Amino acid sequence: APAAAPAGQDRKAGSGRIGEAGGRGLVDINPPRGTRDFFPEDKRVQNWLFGEWAAVSEAFGFEQVDFPVLESEELYVRKAGEEITDQLYNFEDKGGRRVALRPELTPSLARLVLQKGKGLALPAKWFSIGQCWRYERATRGRRREHYQWNMDIVGVAGVEAESELLAAIVTFFQRLGLGPSDVGLKVSSRKVLQAVLARYGIPEASFGPVCVIVDKMEKIPREKVVEELAKLGVAADAIEGILQALAIKTVEELEALLGADNHAVADLRQLFSLAAAYGYADWLVFDASVVRGLAYYTGVVFEGFDRAGTLRAICGGGRYDKLLGTFGGEDQPCTGFGFGDAVIVELLKDKKLLPQLQHTVDDLVMPQDESLRTEATAIAQRLRAAGRRVDLVLEPKRLKWAFKQAERCNAARLVLVAPDEWAKGTVRVKNLASREEADVPLDQLV
């Protein structure tokens, strides 16, 4: 059967309550608002996606790490007006601790780097896949959880690190059958804004909040962005300077504005040169308006987008060289990205690139009658020990049902344990593709 809504099953309309007549029962069978259930057909797609994420990570020599979905709230208190911290799924636990369902994975990764301290061999190349949460107001009706793939490199200050991460993302897209005409990667650097703010004498402390506001440029009216920047204390001429810089279309124009010795210009030139060496230059687009919405980015930032422009950002990331310091630790050059499980699946559906994944077993084993139940169980175990996936029929069923079940689980063989054959040391095996059948001696079953 074709995959259902492949990004999981969203909450259905209505109360979803069952129980006594009239549907006003005791239990709501829907998942909580903004969350998804994964039925087998959904979970097959999710597992496939996670498998592709892990395969790319391992192809790039990254090691997997993991951390709790529940973290101390203090990891996310950043006071820069980010949406991600405004929508924290936070609460006080029964021990009076302020905790939160993580809205992202990077602060957890930072914790692990700090735990290791000088014991961490650098560069560390880690990846993780985990569910992240946000408390969207119900009115927005948006999802409150998604799974994210993160890849991070700790200990490399140069854009060679970002080039590897971008190469991993391109490799992932290519594995799924997506090309540079389907998707692209917008690239810029926050050092552009940093240089502009310095020109206008805007304090360093405003850098994060300014980036968070400017990131909203495509989502809220320009006037609102101007108003929020002004509220932050940014003077009118500086606001104009910021907006002009963000409208720049080429690295050459950027160099004209900031000078050839500007770090952003140098980083971007090197990044595009490395992209050519990797062979993915035609996937990249310089876009000065890309700043991303997380306060802690300090350098190169990037985001994946669909060329048709119908979807939200597919993924995003950047350099965050000062995050560890904000946790009281010693700073390390870090860069990484987050890649969600929802937009990419919508894109693959649109492009008809979603794999059709079915439930499949090698053998359906059934005793012809209950007197051979233990024998059938032994056969099933023997086949499993040989590495075969076996669906063992657990209660008396007619042959017609067995054929139907074999179809449902796409079994390659139907193995019937029947009295006459068993007496001769054989079982009846039907190959469901060729329709051939034979009495097979037990020692020839695998």
Ligand X SMILES: Nc1ccc(Br)nc1
- The site for ligand X (CB under 6 A) is made up of 84, 103-104, 132-134, 143-146
Q: Which amino acid is at 172?
A: F
Instruction: Report the SS3 class of residue 92.
Output: strand
- Which stretches within 74-215 are classed as H helix? 83-86, 106-116, 160-175, 190-199, 207-214
CB of 361 vs ligand X, minimal distance in Å: 34
Structure tokens at 118: 């000088």
Least Å distance, CB 261 to ligand X, is 37
* Total Cβ atoms within 10 A of residue 399: 12
The nearest distance, CB 101 to ligand X, in angstroms, is: 9
Spatial CB neighbours of 101, under 8 Å, sequence gap ≥ 6: 69, 70, 71, 89, 90, 132, 133
What tokens were used for 309? 């422009």
Instruction: Identify which of residues 60 and 135 has a Cβ nearer to ligand X in the complex.
Output: 135
Least distance (Å) between residue 135 CB and ligand X: 9
Nearest CB to ligand X, comparing residues 145 and 228: 145
Residue 103 CB, shortest distance to ligand X, in Å, is 4
Kindly state the smallest distance separating residue 99's Cβ from ligand X, in Å: 16
What share of residues in the chain are helix, strand, coil (percent, to 5)? 40, 20, 40
DSSP letter at 158? S
For residue 300, the SS3 value is strand
Tally the residues of the chain. 446
Q: Which is nearer to ligand X, 8 or 123 (CB)?
A: 8
- In the bound state with ligand X, the residue whose beta carbon lies nearer, of 209 and 293, is 293
For residues 225 and 209, the answer to whether their CB atoms sit within 8 Å is no
Given the complex with ligand X, which of 136 and 253 has the nearer CB atom? Answer: 136
In the complex with ligand X, which residue's Cβ is closer, 78 or 143?
143
Smallest separation (angstroms) from ligand X to the CB of 68? 15
Where does 119-248 have alpha helices with state H?
Answer: 160-175, 190-199, 207-214, 222-231, 236-246
CA distances from 120 to 66, 220, 224 (A): 16, 42, 44
C-beta closer to ligand X: residue 123 or 293: 293
